[in-house]
């Protein structure tokens, strides 16, 4: 296991936007890092924001140049009525990598780490980047067909996303619910990450900050994702960081199938880092281990780029 730097509690990222098409802007947080270090681009999951990566970014910035983005329709990025297709998600992510300076020079390469839906976006982006991608980190997502894994169709899945009314009754109720996931890991970063996912109304209730058309379009893109084809198209090494398996072992089976399919396409197999019954938000629950897995990819990236 790589030696993981201690988190820097004083670090505050700078916020920037990059224009991806006329009138549409994508926001990102630049956490900085050592000059000449390998670039790492962090991509959040569905209905979340760049702040979800803060525990990892605070550690990783000591060894890498770290940028975390808000996907279109999320956080401080614009939420246009269209543009939620794989090609556009990949183009947005590449625009952030280039606009942030992670891919400033012709020989630059970037490691892309995505969580949940962000892992799917990372896979699409890595395939589009080709040799400019040094590695892909699939953090608890990106190797399964969502329809198969959830045993739902897309409309049923969408209907199940609503939070219970009592959680959305007030900001205090919402934060208490998020804190209760794991009291030991709740801190100022977790509170900020939670706060930016909701909006408080004049009546004191809260509603999701991610607008309904964005959630629906994003989920439909997730259901259209074909992991075998997407992962076989990536030249770079792929690592899957797995929170836990289900009782039937279907997640492990899907990962093994995706890895074998990469081998059949002449790629390296998927390296797996598997935890026990840990929650989905591994950046909150296991930041040291997630950081270590990323560092194992960035060290070879530095060597091969010289």
Of 235, 220, 218, 242, the residue nearest 143 (C-alpha): 242
pTM: 0.96
**Predicted local distance difference test score (pLDDT) of residue 21:** 86
In this predicted model, what pLDDT tens digit does every residue of 131-177 receive, in sequence order? 999 999 999 999 999 999 999 999 999 999 999 999 999 999 999 99
Q: Which residue has the higher pLDDT, 93 or 247?
A: 93
Collapsed DSSP state (helix, strand, coil) of residue 30: strand
- What does the pLDDT look like over 263-300, one tens digit per residue? 999 999 999 999 888 899 999 999 999 999 999 999 77
pLDDT at 104 over 50: yes
Residues in contact with 151: Cβ distance below 8 Å, sequence separation at least 6, in sequence order: none
For the cut 90, the answer to whether the pLDDT of residue 39 exceeds it is yes
Q: Please name the residues in contact with 136: beta carbons below 8 A apart, sequence gap of 6 or more.
A: 111, 112, 113, 114, 122, 123, 126, 234, 236, 237, 238, 239
pLDDT at 277: 82
pLDDT category at 90 given cuts 50, 70, 90 is: very high
Rounded Cα distance, 177 and 191, in Å: 11
Distance CA 171, CA 183 (A): 17
Q: Where residue 38 falls among pLDDT bands split at 50, 70, 90?
A: very high
Q: Which helix (H) or strand (E) holds 230?
A: helix 227-232
Residue 253 above 60 pLDDT? yes
Long-range pairs for 208-213 at CB < 8 Å and ≥24 separation? 208/47, 208/163, 209/47, 209/75, 210/46, 210/47, 210/73, 210/74, 210/79, 211/73, 211/79, 213/73, 213/79, 213/81
Q: How confident is the model at residue 62 (pLDDT cuts 50, 70, 90)?
A: very high
Burial zone of 277 (CB within 10 Å; 0-12 exposed, 13-18 middle, 19+ buried): exposed
Q: Which domains does the chain have, with CATH numbers?
A: 14-159+210-305 (3.40.50.1820)
**In angstroms, rounded to a whole number, what is the distance separating the alpha carbons of residues 213 and 194?**
21
Quick one: pLDDT at residue 252?
92
φ, ψ for residue 206, nearest 5 deg: -125, 155
């Amino acid at each position: 296991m790589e030696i993981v730097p201690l988190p820097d509690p004083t670090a505050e990222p700078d916020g920037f936007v990059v224009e991806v098409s006329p009138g549409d802007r994508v926001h990102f947080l630049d956490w900085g890092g050592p000059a000449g270090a390998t670039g790492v681009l962090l991509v959040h999951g569905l209905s979340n924001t760049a702040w979800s990566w803060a525990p990892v970014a605070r550690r990783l910035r000591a060894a890498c140049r770290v940028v975390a983005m808000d996907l279109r329709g999320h956080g401080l990025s614009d939420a246009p009525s269209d543009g939620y297709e794989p090609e556009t998600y990949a183009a947005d992510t590449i625009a952030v990598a280039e606009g942030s300076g992670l891919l400033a020079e012709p020989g630059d390469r970037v490691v892309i780490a995505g969580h949940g839906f962000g892992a799917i976006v990372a896979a699409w982006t890595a395939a589009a980047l080709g040799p400019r991608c040094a590695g892909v980190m699939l953090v608890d997502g990106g190797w399964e067909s969502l329809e198969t894994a959830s045993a739902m169709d897309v409309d049923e899945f969408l209907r199940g996303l609503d939070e219970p009314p009592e959680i959305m009754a007030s900001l205090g109720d919402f934060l208490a619910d998020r804190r209760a996931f794991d009291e030991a890991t709740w801190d100022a970063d977790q509170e900020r990450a939670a706060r930016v996912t909701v909006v408080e109304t004049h009546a004191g209730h809260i509603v999701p900050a991610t607008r309904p058309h964005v959630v629906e379009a994003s989920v439909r893109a997730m259901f259209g994702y074909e992991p075998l084809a997407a992962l076989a198209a990536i030249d770079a090494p792929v690592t899957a960081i797995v929170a836990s398996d289900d009782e039937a072992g279907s997640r492990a089976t899907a990962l093994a199938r995706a890895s074998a399919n990469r081998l059949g396409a002449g790629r390296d197999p998927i390296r797996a880092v598997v935890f026990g019954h840990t929650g989905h938000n591994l950046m909150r629950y296991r930041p040291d281990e997630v950081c270590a897995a990323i560092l194992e990819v960035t060290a070879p990236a530095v060597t091969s780029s010289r």
